[in-house]
Structure 1
Amino acid sequence: MFIGVEITDEGRFRLVDKATTISEAEGRANRLKQKLENRNTHLKIYEYCSAELLVENYFHSVFESTKSIADRIRDVTGLHSDGNALADAAFSTTNPLIKINDFITPTDRSEHIGLSNLIKGVFGLIRNSTAHEPKIRFEISEEEALDILTTISYIHKKLDKIV
Structure 2
Amino acid sequence: MSSSKSPQPPWSYSVLQLVAVVLADTEDGLTGSEIRDLLVRLDMQDPLPSATKRVRLAEAFLVAQNRFGDPRRVITFIVTAMEPVRYRSNPELFTLRQDRLNEHLAFVGLRVNDEGKVAKGAVAQTLDEASRIATSIRDELHRRKCHPSVLRYCSVEVLKKDHFHACLEAAKSIFDRLRDSTGVSGDGAVLVDAVLALGKSGVPLLAINSLQTQTERDEQTGLANFVKGLNGLYRNPTAHDPRLSRTISDDELLEVLTMVSMVHRRLDGVSAPNGGGSER
TM-score by length of 2: 0.50
Per the TM alignment, residue 18 of structure 1 is displaced from its structure 2 partner at its CA by 5.8
- Distance of aligned partners of 1:35 and 1:133 in 2 relative to their CA distance in 1, 3 Å threshold: same
Secondary structure class of the residue paired with 1:17: strand
Using CA pairs under 8 Å that are at least 6 residues apart, name the structure with larger relative contact order, 1 or 2. Answer: 1
Q: Is the 8 A contact 1:58 1:145 kept in 2?
A: yes
Per the TM alignment, residue 92 of structure 1 is displaced from its structure 2 partner at its CA by 2.8
Counterparts of 1:16-35 in structure 2 under 5 Å? 17=119, 31-35=136-140
Q: Is the 8 A contact 2:197 2:220 kept in 1?
A: no
Task: Tell me, yes or no, if structure 1 residue 55 matches structure 2 residue 160.
Answer: yes
Corresponding residue pairs, total: 150
Per the TM alignment, residue 134 of structure 1 is displaced from its structure 2 partner at its CA by 1.1
Secondary structure class of the residue paired with 1:112: helix
Distance in 1 (alpha carbons) for counterparts of 2:242 and 2:197: 34
Counterparts of 1:81-120 in structure 2 under 5 Å? 81-93=186-198, 94=201, 95-120=203-228
Distance in 2 (alpha carbons) for counterparts of 1:150 and 1:109: 24
Larger radius of gyration: 2
Aligned to 2:235: 127
Distance in 2 (alpha carbons) for counterparts of 1:161 and 1:67: 20
Q: Is the 8 A contact 1:5 1:18 kept in 2?
A: no
- Distance of aligned partners of 1:162 and 1:136 in 2 relative to their CA distance in 1, 3 Å threshold: same
Secondary structure class of the residue paired with 1:62: helix
Q: Deviation above 3 Å: which 4+ runs of structure 1?
A: 1-5
Secondary structure class of the residue paired with 1:124: helix
- Distance of aligned partners of 1:76 and 1:146 in 2 relative to their CA distance in 1, 3 Å threshold: same
Structure 2 residue runs of 5 or longer lacking an equivalent are 1-74, 80-111, 122-129, 272-280
Percent of aligned positions that are identical: 39
Secondary structure class of the residue paired with 2:169: helix
Deviates more, 1:32-41 or 1:66-75: 32-41
TM-score by length of 1: 0.83
- Distance of aligned partners of 1:51 and 1:40 in 2 relative to their CA distance in 1, 3 Å threshold: same
